[in-house]
Amino acid sequence: MTTASAPESTTVLDRLRRLFGGGPSDGRLGSTVSATRALELVADGATLLDVRETSEWRSGHAPRAMHLPLGQIEQATRRVKADRPVVVVCASGMRSRTAAKHLRGLGFEAASLSGGMPAWQRAGGEVRR
């Protein structure tokens, strides 16, 4: 019987970081990030991409966020700078995971903000209405 194993470059620590919202130990952005880490990344110049619908965006959004509903994610190649990390946020984390995965497939360094906008606010992230 054979068992699947993680790639040699993936360590137990890397897997735990991904599980709990941290990035790989080599400094790359993981597939998800905690709200605290998202705040740090955005402060350091990462793009915050909000993929919620327009009505959700209007109800409150981060001031420095770029709005691009998930249904329009194909436009990201024209609107989002590829030379900086992208933190993707939605209401709970479901749509942002889909969008971040799609962006990674397009060559972006992208991660989903775990817990969505509520987590962003709990971590001290500003919201403008």
Question: Which residues are identified as catalytic?
Answer: 90
Residue with tokens 């691009």: 68
Give buried/exposed letters for 98-122 (b at 16+ CB in 10 A, else e).
bbbebbeeeebbbbbbbbbbebbee
Write the CA distances from 62 to 77, 86, 89, 128, integer angstroms. 21, 14, 10, 6
Nearest C-alpha neighbor of 123 from the set 62, 64, 53: 62
In angstroms, rounded to a whole number, what is the distance separating the alpha carbons of residues 38 and 93?
Answer: 13
